[in-house]
Structure 1
Amino acid sequence: METDNQTFSSDEVRDDDGCFILLALDRNDHLFDKKKKLLERQGFMSENLIFLKCSMYPEEVDTVLKELVQIARILQLNELEMYFGENNEGTPVDFYSPRNEVEAFDTIISLLDSSLSSCTPAQFSVLQELRKAVIHMIHEYGNVHSMDAKTLENSCEKENCLLQWGESSGVRTSLKVAYVEGAGRGTIAKEDLDVGDTVLEIPLAIIISEELVQKSTMYPILSKVEGMLPETMMLLWSMKEKHIVDSKFRVYFDTLPEAFNTGLSFGIGAMATLVGTLLFDELMQAKEHLRKQYNELFPALCNDHPAIFPKEFYSWEEFLWACELWYSNSLKIMFPDGHVRTCLVPIAGFLNHSLHPHILHYGKVDSDTNSLKFRLSRPCRAGEECYLSYGNYSGSHLVTFYGFLPEGDNVDDVIPLDIDFSEEDNNNVTSDWNTHMVRGTWLSKNQGIFHYGLPSPFLECFRKALFPGLHTNCKGSLEGEIDVLSELLLIFSGMMEKFEDEDEDEDESRTSTEWDVKLALEYKDLQRKIVSSCLTSCHAGLKTVEFALCDCMKEDIRG
């Protein structure tokens, strides 16, 4: 899971008849130049002063809000969204991704709240009206993705014990724990909750951080091990702590599963299913890294310090379990001293990930209350599961470290492409992007000629390599476009052939009841679907270009 990462700066300037809202691009943003160009193409600047009159008609509020949202969307773009959302025509993009949309709303709400805290009575009304309009937009967006959770009758005795323990230690929550169909444990809203509400507050005193290791008997030993990281110390501490009967965190460890079922635990059958995929390579590297790390520590620590590191607590199986615990449940938290530490946060681990989360920012301890607060970025109705964002991760990352693929279309599910051009072609290629990738073309709204649902930087790279010049509906340009699409068809056909070659081997796997084989097949089917969509789009694009070329030649004849 990720810590907060704000990528915008904002402020407001006042005068007697209203105020100026400032939305500015952060000069430290590593995408500053690209975002600046995009802002300018859409008629904005890197610093935008927007005037708010003290009295505004509803339609004026709507106009200002539309402008604020357009700017905020660009300020909050990440690299992937920039790559797939490039718009050379200069027309506003009304949606980049679920993450970007909620972040844009968050940007505006934070700015308005800051302004409202110190505005004059005359300015209060218009700022409040604008805030209400933003909240209305958030509700409209949230209603599309809102649904009641399908809960099961499984007992939550251990989970409720943890909640009671937490509440006795200062935890406050508007959520309850339940078993959710298809997702295991999850958190359900006990009442209707709105934007900005704190749904979970965890005091620092029950957060598992490196301070616990520093107070333990193993710290003097581990601190002398060369290259030992705080995260590794915490992992080794938790391997032992889970077995201590009178541990302060006994009730927390009792709620943890015997197996986390992440990609790190994939067996031979699942790995064989994944051969040839990006996930196979990632899992092999991760497994090799963990095995190497374990061998560097054990059995040496157990042999040299048997009282501190009992062998029965530090087997390979126990080590892998602890790795999966920390990968899947830890949070990176910024403490009041400014340091970011990897921690386990009891109760927060029940929050599941979603592509349309309610909670985006949760990685900073509130210094006033000395607690970690989880606030809503969109409303959550009573009976609805409350979701967290673990981060902007691809399916391969989520399978590897969390053991699932999310429901819905994940805009971060991309396939990187290693394109080799000839030396002559390379001389013609000048691009703002060093790497290229594709994702499901069904995610794109632009399937027309010269676009085909594929990313513009990728297509432009091919055009410049094969025939430098602008793409227009003239005969030469259209003939060149046919060459581009033909090359792309060769690339995607080769990728699809790899899947088809392995289809016969998969027949037996598809009858398997093993959880890891099922998940591996689900991931592979997703990769196949992405490549298939690219092929389909290229075939459709080729027909469109051929029709356009035919019309162009008819015009020439009539000419």
Structure 2
Amino acid sequence: MAIVEEAESSGTVAICLPPLSKEDPLFSGKKRLLDARNLKYKYQLPVFSSTEEVLQILDQIVQAARILHMDEIELYFAGDDDCGPYSPRNELESLNSIFVVINSFLSGAKTDIIQLLQVLKDRIMTMINSVVVQNINEMIIEKLDADTEEMLLTWGKDHGVRTKLKISHFKEAGRGAVASEDISIGDIALEIPESLIISEDLVHESDMYDPLKKLDGITSDTMLLLWSMRERYNSNSRFKIYFDTLPEEFNTGLSFGVDALSVLEGTLLLEELLQARELLHQQYDALCPKLCANYPNIFQQELYAWDKFLWACELWYSNGMKVVLSDGKLGTCLVPIAGLLNHSLCPHILHYGRVDQSTKSLKFRVSRPCKAGEQCYLSYGTFPGSHLITFYGFVPKGDNPYDIIPLDFDDCCNEDGRSDETWTGESSRTTHMVRGAWLSKSDKPHTYGLPPPLLAHLRSVLKGDGIEQPPEVPEPDMHKDNERAVLETVLSIFNPMLEGISNSDDFDWDNTRWDVKLALDYKDLQRRVISSVTKSCYSGLETLDASA
């Protein structure tokens, strides 16, 4: 966490970012970017600086924070000339980490320092609002304060839930949470007592734990899934109201019918769905028939049919949250009410995974303001559309920076069989990726809207020396034949992909099932990404030919 330090003797205020940990799996890549841009962890701000000077230093602080908060995909696509923003998530997390410490220091600061900090706070707030404006996607409320959800909220409040949210129904999105009052950065939008969290402890307290613990290799997650299949129909369950509010169908990719699967022919998602379904069938066949036969009083056959198993899988995939409980154990849990919040690429709530030790509750704080009547969004994680369709049943609105297409290459080895070392000092990576070329912000020549590591890899392989250089723009005199070969190699990968995705224009959208519509949405997204890559390559070839 960032901190603010006051140094009276020097007349400065220091803002200290957390140093990059060597335990960070992305340490080398982040350090390279920090060093290349001469960014530090500690910044001195003279108290009597001009506003312009203060904002120049703040720009450096924000750049450093962005790098520190990068994930693998953001780091992979960040060119040396790209100072950000890298994604709405990264931007909100970076700005929020600075905003929170500045805001907390303001209350006890001296007058001259208050003026300095207020300048910083106002600019950070402006930047946060800018992220929101650029990524806002309004949903239409169809129904406010539905009876069933109101019962759930009342039940929750009776058991210690505190909230500034109410539940509404949204067109095309189902249920979601709306702010009942203005919620500021750092405020708690929702607080759930640990006693209402559905965790593995409930399995341990039940009669099914003894037979389940005898099974080799069974996980806590699987135990909870089997427990919830029975608890759903338990009229005496203390979670009865919660289970009663759950839908009869979750409509995720795991429930796609034959027509939807046929639409996905030629896409990456089809294989993912088929593999996921096969694994679930294998898991069901290995567990449920045997448990029902050996323990019929505990595992009633009518409650453990395949359709009910699939329902429970969809419940846990779409509503399960990784939570560190007060005993320090990390596990997948169901959190009543919190599961109703929808996902966004620009969420209000970024972090919510640890029970507060002092209050024994799970707190959902907002990282950006949420006005009364506005939908309050949660981050489900940094997932591509294929994952969100498979396990949640939707494609997010807007440009998802995590919609990537992975590429696997054979490892390049020396004559002695050892992999060459890359510019990072690590073994040469063989897994690369692309995403929509429109997301590239590099305006330098020979970048083609493609990620720098992929270009560096292809240049080295096609050049034949097997030595990867840092992923920066090639020299002006780089051999044009090699550049042309790079682009033609990319086209040889993606042109067949594009040809394999049929057109969606001949579908009657109004009379199409939900799963077919979702499959069509994904196919259009996949086509858009691939088309942007091929168009960029053809444009690059034209540029090379024109300069010949």
TM over 0.5: yes
Superposition deviation, residue 537 in structure 1: 0.7
Partner of 1:5: none
| 8 Å contact kept, 2:266–2:497 | no
Partner Cα distance (2:540, 2:335) in 1:
50
Runs of 5+ consecutive residues of structure 1 not aligned to the other structure: 1-8, 550-559
The aligned runs of 1:122-271 (5 Å cut-off) are 126-146=116-136, 149-153=139-143, 156-271=146-261
| 8 Å contact kept, 2:143–2:170 | no
Q: Does residue 437 in structure 1 map to residue 433 in structure 2?
A: yes
Superposition deviation, residue 303 in structure 1: 1.6
Which one-letter code corresponds to 2:474 in the other structure? H
Q: Does residue 473 in structure 1 map to residue 457 in structure 2?
A: no
* 2:53 maps to which of 46, 51, 60: 60
Partner of 1:519: 518
* 1:451 maps to which of 441, 444, 447: 447
| 8 Å contact kept, 1:364–1:372 | yes
* 2:488 maps to which of 486, 489, 502: 486
Gap change, CA 1:79 and 1:194, over 3 Å in 2: same
Q: Does residue 71 in structure 1 map to residue 73 in structure 2?
A: no
The aligned runs of 1:286-365 (5 Å cut-off) are 286-365=276-355
| Percent of matched pairs sharing the same residue | 47
Partner of 1:4: none
Partner Cα distance (2:144, 2:104) in 1:
44
- For residues 518-552 of structure 1, the C-alpha deviation after alignment (integer angstroms, 9 at most, x for no partner) is 21222122111111111111111111122222xxx
Deviates more, 1:272-281 or 1:349-358: 272-281
Superposition deviation, residue 227 in structure 1: 1.5
| 8 Å contact kept, 2:404–2:435 | yes
Deviates more, 1:539-548 or 1:509-518: 509-518
- For residues 297-325 of structure 1, the C-alpha deviation after alignment (integer angstroms, 9 at most, x for no partner) is 12221122111111111111111100100
Q: Does residue 15 in structure 1 map to residue 15 in structure 2?
A: no
Which one-letter code corresponds to 2:358 in the other structure? D
Partner of 2:532: 533
Partner Cα distance (1:27, 1:143) in 2:
36
Gap change, CA 1:33 and 1:423, over 3 Å in 2: closer
* 1:40 maps to which of 35, 42, 46: 35
Partner Cα distance (1:218, 1:429) in 2:
53
Deviates more, 1:341-350 or 1:121-130: 121-130
Superposition deviation, residue 334 in structure 1: 0.9
Partner Cα distance (1:488, 1:260) in 2:
38
Runs of 5+ consecutive residues of structure 2 not aligned to the other structure: none
RMSD value over aligned CA atoms? 2.7
| 8 Å contact kept, 1:328–1:401 | yes
Gap change, CA 1:94 and 1:373, over 3 Å in 2: same
Residue 44 of structure 2 aligns to a residue in which SS? strand
| 8 Å contact kept, 1:330–1:342 | yes
Partner Cα distance (2:285, 2:493) in 1:
42
- For residues 20-53 of structure 1, the C-alpha deviation after alignment (integer angstroms, 9 at most, x for no partner) is 32222122111111111111111124xx221133
Partner Cα distance (2:114, 2:145) in 1:
50
Partner of 1:50: 43
| 8 Å contact kept, 1:352–1:388 | yes
| 8 Å contact kept, 2:135–2:398 | no
Partner Cα distance (1:175, 1:120) in 2:
36
Partner Cα distance (2:237, 2:412) in 1:
64
Partner of 1:6: none
Residue 382 of structure 1 aligns to a residue in which SS? coil
Paired residue total: 532
Which one-letter code corresponds to 1:443 in the other structure? L
Gap change, CA 1:84 and 1:217, over 3 Å in 2: same
Partner Cα distance (1:286, 1:211) in 2:
28
Partner of 1:404: 394
Superposition deviation, residue 383 in structure 1: 1.8
Partner of 1:553: none
- For residues 259-288 of structure 1, the C-alpha deviation after alignment (integer angstroms, 9 at most, x for no partner) is 101111112222222233221221122111
Partner of 1:548: 547
Partner Cα distance (1:431, 1:401) in 2:
37
- For residues 367-423 of structure 1, the C-alpha deviation after alignment (integer angstroms, 9 at most, x for no partner) is 121111111111112221111110000111111100111111111011112345887
Partner of 1:393: 383
Partner Cα distance (1:234, 1:187) in 2:
26
Which one-letter code corresponds to 2:457 in the other structure? C
Residue 136 of structure 1 aligns to a residue in which SS? helix
- For residues 478-511 of structure 1, the C-alpha deviation after alignment (integer angstroms, 9 at most, x for no partner) is 3332232223222222222222xx559x957978
The aligned runs of 1:88-107 (5 Å cut-off) are 91=81, 93-107=83-97
Partner of 1:85: 78
| 8 Å contact kept, 1:148–1:383 | no
Partner of 1:462: 458
Partner Cα distance (1:535, 1:332) in 2:
39
Superposition deviation, residue 12 in structure 1: 5.1
Deviates more, 1:198-207 or 1:105-114: 105-114
Partner of 1:556: none
Superposition deviation, residue 457 in structure 1: 1.0
- For residues 109-167 of structure 1, the C-alpha deviation after alignment (integer angstroms, 9 at most, x for no partner) is 34435656887787565445433432332233324444654211377110010011111
Gap change, CA 1:429 and 1:483, over 3 Å in 2: farther
| 8 Å contact kept, 1:361–1:375 | yes
Partner of 1:29: 24
Deviates more, 1:320-329 or 1:229-238: 229-238
| 8 Å contact kept, 2:179–2:372 | yes
TM-score, normalised to structure 1's length? 0.88
Residue 25 of structure 1 aligns to a residue in which SS? coil
Partner Cα distance (1:354, 1:201) in 2:
20
Residue 307 of structure 1 aligns to a residue in which SS? coil
| 8 Å contact kept, 1:447–1:537 | no
| 8 Å contact kept, 2:82–2:442 | no
Partner of 1:557: none
- For residues 224-278 of structure 1, the C-alpha deviation after alignment (integer angstroms, 9 at most, x for no partner) is 2221211111111111111111211111111100010111111222222223322
Deviates more, 1:212-221 or 1:160-169: 212-221
Gap change, CA 1:448 and 1:130, over 3 Å in 2: closer
Residue 373 of structure 2 aligns to a residue in which SS? coil
